[in-house]
Amino acid sequence: MTYVVTVDICIPEGTPELDPLQRAGAVALVEDGLDAVRAVEGPDGVQVDVLDTIVAVHPGGALLKVVVDAPALEFAEGSVQVLVDELLERTEVLADWTIDRCEVELHQDLARESLAAADGPDAPPDDLALRRARHTAGAPSAQNAGEGADGPDGAATKARAARARMLELAAELRAFPPAVFGVEADDDRRAVPAESARLAAGALVHATDTLVDELFEDVQVLAQEDATVAECEGPLWHLERLPDRYALQYDARFARRFLVTVIALTTRFTDGSFQHLSCVAEELALRFLLNEATTTLELHDLLDDHVSTALANLADALCIDTDHDRVHHPTALLPFTSWFTPFTEDSYAHPSTTDEPEAAPQ
């Protein structure tokens, strides 16, 4: 069975954050170490095959996605834990790093099998959009869509819990002060209450995890089919919404670079180091993130006019046009080969995205 294991590794507590040169070195060390391993002996001597890896290094450490073939979830998690432990231990400059999280996620193929086998009124819906709604925000099944799975009282309770969670998450979006969302704005049409700004900020943090997970599934679908978005027969969460002009260029390699771009961008949002958007790919990534946040708020019935304005104020501050669902903004129509090229010399570029792709039709 195939499993996706997410691993957070962190630099030692109290040490300075990694600068760009250190991040470039760290990603090379981690990638080389993982690429050298095709199988690992898990608990009880069970062999677990390593199928694929993605590495995204940020100032505080790195996020790893490791795809393994294992007989059970416990073996998948245990083997990856052993693999990463050994990698850190034998790499001198990473020896003091620690594993903060090691979690198994169900691979998309297994999820499809479960959906196909499911039956009864509580079975997950076949429609991808409805499954996405559940995945994003625990939406009720179609049978109970009017009242929520637990009736009106249950729906209200879930909405209150979602609001509390969004407000709690807002503090993690360190790059943007309340003023960016419109708190205390001079223009009454753009001014929003502080709580609305916090809901918008929290929704962006919540949407980050969902967007990263769904883009990782898109990577896996393209890799398994060895296809581009234009040729892909399997369902995709997001990449189909990129400009059609280059659909034949959106292969697994592109999807990996785009996923790392999303991780690098949102990491700068949460660690407070964000200064400005660095390239076309980041502009596209931010549109996806804003759309994901909006969907999350809508599903929890938290998207009122003030919260919508707060998100619009942030988009305006970052010069992002969100009027269209599909991302056909003029910058997205720049030559495909320039999408990951930094706008300026001081623009941030993740080491894993800087190598140029093969030439694409202009």
Per-residue pLDDT tens digits for 173-220: 999 999 999 998 887 778 999 999 999 999 999 999 889 988 988 998
Radius of gyration (C-alpha) of the chain in whole angstroms: 21
Find which of 256-265, 313-322, 345-354 is predicted with most confidence, using mean pLDDT.
256-265
- Determine the pLDDT at residue 315: 93
Beta strands in the chain (DSSP E): 2-10, 39-41, 47-58, 61-69, 98-106
Residues 6+ apart with CB under 8 A from 190: 182, 309, 313
Residues written for the chain? 362
E strands present in 42-152 = 47-58, 61-69, 98-106
**Non-local CB neighbours of 168 within 8 Å, separated by 6+ positions:** 202
Most confident of 58-67, 71-80, 221-230, 324-333: 221-230
Which is more confident, 60 or 325?
Answer: 60
pTM of this prediction exceeds 0.75: no
Percent of the chain topping pLDDT 90: 35
9 pLDDT exceeds 60? Answer: yes
Q: Where does the pLDDT of residue 303 fall: very low under 50, low under 70, confident under 90, or very high at 90 and above?
A: very high
* Position with higher pLDDT, 43 vs 93: 93
Q: Which pLDDT band holds residue 167 (cuts at 50, 70, 90)? A: very high
